[in-house]
Amino acid sequence: MPSDCLFCRIIAGELPSSLVHSDDSIFAIRDISPQAPTHILILSRKHVASVSDLSGADEAIVGKLFAAAAEIAKREGIAKGGYRLVVNTGRDAGQTVDHLHVHMLGGRHMSWPPG
């Protein structure tokens, strides 16, 4: 675990967070700066810097991120109304924390295309 990674430190319990879901592979928390009524970050427990750093061995992690998203959306009551999953990858996309995570945004209407 990179000791300078914010999300690794949160997963390790070194920094506080608002926990939504935790299992062997996934850790989900509420975003500290929510951009929608529901804004959850679904993190892989394994440190992978971004989608660009995934290898074939990480296939299962990607599946588990999305399976967790489906389950969390139901629990949060946004599955029916709809929600958006976003994976910012690299600087142009606005990635600020280099640890693989899926944003789950819901609870309001969202426009397309994103800014």
Amino acid at 72: I
Enter the tokens of residue 23: 């299992």
Task: Select the binding partner of residue 8 from ligand 5GP, Zn ion, none (C-beta < 5 to 8 A, by kind).
Answer: Zn ion
Smallest gap from Cβ 88 to ligand 5GP, in A, equals 3
Does 113 sit behind a cis peptide bond, omega within 30 degrees of 0 on the bond before it? yes
Smallest gap from Cβ 105 to ligand 5GP, in A, equals 10
Question: Is residue 103 flagged as an active site residue?
Answer: no
Distances (CA, A) of 98 to 4, 8, 12, 46, 73: 10, 10, 16, 12, 24
Stretch that binds Zn ion, among 47-55, 57-65, 74-82, 87-95 (CB under 5 A): 47-55
Catalog residues that contact ligand 5GP under the rule CB under 6 A.
6, 17, 29-33, 41, 88, 94-97
